[in-house]
Structure 1
Amino acid sequence: MPSPLPADLTPTELVELMQRLTLEEQAELDHLLTAGLPRWLPQVGPQTDALESEADIVFYGGQAGGGKSDLLLGAALTRHEHSIIFRRESVQLVGLEERVARILGSRSGYNGQAKVWRLPGATPRILEFGSVKEPNDWMKYQGRAHDLKGFDEITHFLETQFRTLIGWMRTDNPSVRQRVICAGNPPTDAEGEWVIRYWAPWLDPQHPNPAQPGELRWFVTDEEGGDREVPGPEPVMVGGELMTPKSRTFIRSSVDDNLFLQLTGYKATLQALPEPLRSQMLRGNFMAGRSDPVWQLIPTDWVKAAMTRWSPRQEKGPMTALGLDPSRGGADKTSAARRHGAWFDVLVTAPGQVTCDGPTAAGFVAPLVRNGACICVDSIGIGSSALDFIKGLNLLVLAVAGSEASTGSTVAGNLRFRNKRAEMYWRLREALDPAAEPPIALPPDQELLGDLCAVRYKVAQLGKAAAIQIRDKDEIRELLGRSPDKGDSVALTFVSGIPMPGPARQRTAREVPDWRVC
């Protein structure tokens, strides 16, 4: 009879001992350890911590190989009655289906056409698989009730897809908890950066109040549709409505915590990856080398540098322009960017449902103007009505139609612009160039960062000349899952032909409509 194992044996030492066993001895040990136990058990450490976490929304991730997908499947198979696990594309679900079959020992109860697994037993369970390849594919699952919603490779999803899909979290069984579990590695491009913003206390090194792995933080949705962190789980008033906060946490995964992959030498495979993949997958570095797409108009590093340069000012100097991107409803916002030379003030926004017509949009922007600065208004749609009412307030205004032709060219003089929208965004790019003098400073704002980094361009033919053409607003909306309102409002202040302020325009308080109510 072999001597008992030391009580303080570490996982690494256990792996070393197991590697000395023959295949037959390993199989016998596996049988002895698992006989009479459920078919799936969490591994001791972070995987168990994530499974047992009290958070409403858990993000388990970081390093590759930490058993992230297994956590999603294990929670569905052992803790919940009706679960759904999403991947961005349906072809990516094959690995999850095969893993469930290995855990259960068969494919009994699985309907491959509907992608539904019905598991009999003392506690009958249903496990569905879903995919949302296109931005609006979330509608396929609208109103579907689940007590567990899982997201595998969360950084592949659009933010609006995630937020919308978790909205229908409910169950008829009060004894079954409802929660969201996300699994994933660091984003590999700027389009996945919303994950860093959503779990900022754990993932953003610049967050003013960082959280420890596994620590719970509580959030509510504010009046503008964004997140507001609150002290605890007690209900809070938001815009006259009492709201119950939801808790979130992040728990870091590691290949070192996965005994099964340690036996296969998977860590050596991760160590052999080129940078920045090695830092992302092996070390779980959420800040490592997210390379920009080749045709990204404004480099991510330029935008981040502009935000690093920014600091609040008491003396802001004269306002030189104000960009206004109006919205009349939905999830879009009306956004105002106040430019003071090379420095931008904090962006001001209002929900589209609030600025629902021309008078309220004009009332929103009028109090923000200083020094007779020109208001550059996106004049398409609701912007045309806002334009008329702003003029009626005797304020200096410039109508900007992004589709109109531009006569400008790049600083280098070798490229023209397809239209005004391409012109104003390229001028913004030139101002963000680290070699620009003086370089502009933008307020730190993750939505603004996402908006500016989502713009793509190409060089097209315009007559006999080459011209810059950029992705239109609807294409950016599909990429981000929302409208780039903040980015557009900043870019509007770089359009050509902005008039200088004339004599001060006087108005009385009675001439400014109340934008807060429609």
Structure 2
Amino acid sequence: MKLPIPSTEEILAAFKGMTPEMRAAVDSFLMVADPAIWVPQAGPQSAAYHSKADIIFYGGSAGGGKTELLLGLSLTEQEHSIIFRREAVQLIGIEERMTKILGTRAGYNGQDHLWRLPGGKVLELGSVQRPDDWLKYQGRPHDFKGFDEITHFTEAQFRTLIGWMRTDNPDIRQRVVAAGNPPTTPEGEWVKRYWAAWLDPQHSNPAKPGELRWYVTNEKGEDQEVPDSTPVMVGNELMTPKSRTFIPSSVDDNLFLTTTGYKATLQALPEPLRSQMLRGDFNAGVSDPVWQLIPTEWVKAAQARWKDRDAKGPMTAIGFDPSRGGQDKSSAARRHGQWFDKIVTAPGVVTKDGPSAAGFIAPLIRDGAVVCIDSIGIGSSALDFVKGLGLHVHPVVGSEASALMDKSGQMKFRNKRAEMYWLLREALDPTNSDPIALPPDAELLGDLTAPRYQVTTMGKGAAIQISSKDDIRRILGRSPDKGDSVAMTFAADIPKPEPKPRAKSWRDRLAGSGHGHWDQSTA
């Protein structure tokens, strides 16, 4: 008969009830029992250790033994591992913890952050401080990739780093473990989207902790859930789904921290940090940076008041941000007055040049709406081809000067980019009598909450300057295509739509021909 595994609380209670002599006897037994280098604690840590998921998110609360799990897998289950922190200085804690587990630093090369472990295993420690630092690890084989504090990484860094997973040993399992707490800044919100089935309370098909779900990347470059691990056709390619799961843990699950008073430390934190770190609450408030251009709550409110419509009303403008290649997407924001339709996107390869970009945007236009095109780079080619189709086009160059003032009449704008984003901010302001409605879209939320602003001197007055597209790319790890496509519809000098001329009726044609006259009195 298989005996049940005691919980951390049960083990701790048993130790507290022992006399000093009994504890000494247990210590003596453990010292001669030749235990493994590392074993997972009963409970969530053991569940994550034994989980069959390809990609695991472990943690939520602080103190659940997250770093310990990453090191334990590297020591016992994997052959060639790498554990990432966002900054190199943060690797010191991992080095110190591994030294305590092994009792020595033998085998560690601090210059290369490479540890040769017992049994011929190898552990590398890596950092990716800048968005493109993942290129340092391109093509290097690892059968295990661990991420310590996953919400500190950009989504693009995470996706690209796990894309190079491979091993030459068929007996070694390949897996990814992301450890971390709830995000404390808007930049980490992507984690809630990636594991939405477990973390989003509004998800249409929520998953239980430890439950496996399978995903593939569809033709739009988006995650698509599939029923199981059976390979599926995506376009013309047969793809093997990858499984994900989320396993929550807390300080109460960690035998070693339960007796140290660490829980009391977490209880003393201010809100919302206490809810995030103590209870692993992913829905606790995330504080915005002081100079964040658009408050997160304003965007969430605009998405909350959005309702899908059959009768959308006339399309007044469409913002088009063509992809500049790579992992960027082309995005089109269809505006109907104060209501925006769902953002339409396409991978960069689909809109790689002017003709294909024009072919993407043309079918989306309605009611003679103005096409506001980012006309730098590939956008200039798209602009020419869209014009060639006889469509109503308005070029947008973010670096151009702006002649507008903010609604207070006190500040100018450094350039058109600042102008259109600030006007978007004013349209999202909840004090606005008719605020806009935006479609629920996690990427759009990230795009619109990433820009920062500052007030600078311009001539004899003050001017608003906001983050450049490259600055935002460094924050998000990707281009803010959706946000830019929405913002372009707020450029101040957009002309009004040009409805197509009404088709002539047979009466018009008859009257214009000079032949015949229809006398209604005789009809």
Instruction: Tell me the TM-score normalised to structure 2 length.
Output: 0.92
The answer to whether residue 219 in structure 2 is matched with residue 223 in structure 1 is yes
Distance in 1 between residues matched to 2:227 and 2:415, nearest whole Å = 48
**177, 181, 196: which is aligned to 2:177?**
181
Instruction: Give the whole-Å Cα distance in 2 for the aligned partners of 1:254 and 1:10.
Output: 13
Would you say 1:201 and 2:184 are equivalent positions? no
Q: What's the secondary structure of 1:365's corresponding residue?
A: helix
How many residues align structurally? 500
Q: 1:171: how far off?
A: 0.9
Task: State the match for 1:109 in structure 2.
Answer: 107
Take 2:429 and 2:217, find their aligned partners in 1: how far apart are those partners? 35
The match for 2:420 is: 424
1:170 aligns with 2:166: yes
Amino acid at match of 2:397: A
C-alpha separation in 2, matches of 1:385 and 1:482 = 22
Equivalent residue letter for 2:295: P
5 Å-filtered alignment, 1:55-454, equals: 55-121=53-119, 124-454=120-450
Moved more, 333-342 or 89-98: 89-98
Residue in structure 1 matched with residue 15 of structure 2 by the alignment:
18
Q: 2:26 corresponds to which letter in structure 1? A: L
Q: Which residue in 1 is equivalent to 2:52? A: 54
Partner Cα separation in structure 1 for residue 321 and residue 502 of structure 2: 24
Larger deviation, residues 223-232 vs 303-312? 223-232
The amino acid of 1:142's aligned partner reads Q
In the superposition, relative to structure 1, how do residues 348 and 27 fare at CA in structure 2: closer, same or farther (>3 Å)?
farther
Checking the alignment, whether the CA contact within 8 Å between 1:358 and 1:388 is kept in structure 2 is yes
Rounded Cα–Cα distance in structure 2 between residues aligned with 1:252 and 1:67:
11
Change in Cα spacing, 1:235 to 1:394, as seen in structure 2 (3 Å) is: same
Equivalent position SS for 1:475: helix
1:120 CA drift (Å): 3.3
Matches of 1:388 and 1:315, distance apart in 2: 32
After superposition, the C-alpha distances for 1:230-269 in whole angstroms (9 at most, x for unaligned) are: 1111111112111111000000011111111111121111
Cα gap change, 1:176 to 1:505, in 2 (>3 Å): farther
1:28 deviates by 4.6
What amino acid is the match of 1:252?
P
Structure 1: runs of 5 or more not aligned: 1-5, 508-518
Task: Verify: 1:473 aligned to 2:469, yes or no.
Answer: yes
> Does residue 29 of structure 2 align to residue 32 of structure 1?
yes
Any idea what SS the aligned residue of 2:67 has?
Answer: helix
1:504 to 463, 480, 500: 500
Q: What are the Cα deviations for residues 34-85 of structure 1, in whole angstroms up to 9, with x where unaligned?
A: 6321121100010000000000000001111111110000011000111111
Pair 24,449 (structure 1): closer, same or farther in 2 beyond 3 Å: farther
Structure 1 residues 447, 85: CA separation in 2 closer, same or farther (over 3 Å shift)?
same
CA contact (8 A) 2:369 2:499 kept: no
Where 1:353 maps in the other structure, the secondary structure is helix
Cα distance in 2 for partners of 1:360, 1:173 equals 43
Q: CA deviation at 1:361?
A: 1.1
Cα distance change, pair 376–191 in 1 and its aligned pair in 2 (3 A): same
Give the drift of 1:25.
Answer: 6.0
- Say which SS state the counterpart of residue 55 (structure 1) adopts: coil
| Deviation of the 1:12 alpha carbon | 3.0
Residues of 1 paired with 2:84 and 2:297: CA distance? 31
How far has the Cα of 1:33 moved from its partner? Answer: 3.9
Cα separation, 2, equivalents of 1:292 and 1:23: 51
Helix, strand or coil: the match of 2:97?
A: helix
Query: 1:14 offset after TM fit, Å?
Result: 3.9
Partners of 2:5 and 2:42 within 8 A in 1 = no
CA distance in structure 2 between the partners assigned to 1:14 and 1:331 by the alignment: 49
CA distance in 2, matches of 1:413, 1:125: 66
Kept after mapping to 2: 8 A contact 1:19/1:263: no
Q: What is the alpha-carbon distance in structure 1 between the residues aligned to residue 11 and residue 283 of structure 2?
A: 33
Report the identity percentage: 69
Please provide the CA RMSD for this pair.
1.8
SS in 2 for 1:18: helix
Do 2:141 and 2:165's aligned partners in 1 also have CA atoms closer than 8 Å?
A: yes
CA distance in 2, matches of 1:116, 1:326: 42
Q: How far apart, in 2, do the equivalents of 1:84 and 1:26 lie?
A: 37
AA matched with 2:68:
D
Contact 1:328 1:357 in 2 (8 A): no
In 2, Cα distance between equivalents of 1:343 and 1:432: 11
Change (3 A) 1:408 1:87: same
Query: Structure 1 residues 199 and 401, CA, compared in 2 at 3 Å: closer, same or farther?
Result: same
TM-score normalised by L of structure 1: 0.93
Tell me if structure 2 keeps the 8 A contact 1:417–1:468.
Answer: yes
Q: CA deviation at 1:415?
A: 1.3
Q: Which has the larger radius of gyration?
A: 2
1:336 and 1:48 map into 2 onto residues whose CA distance is: 46
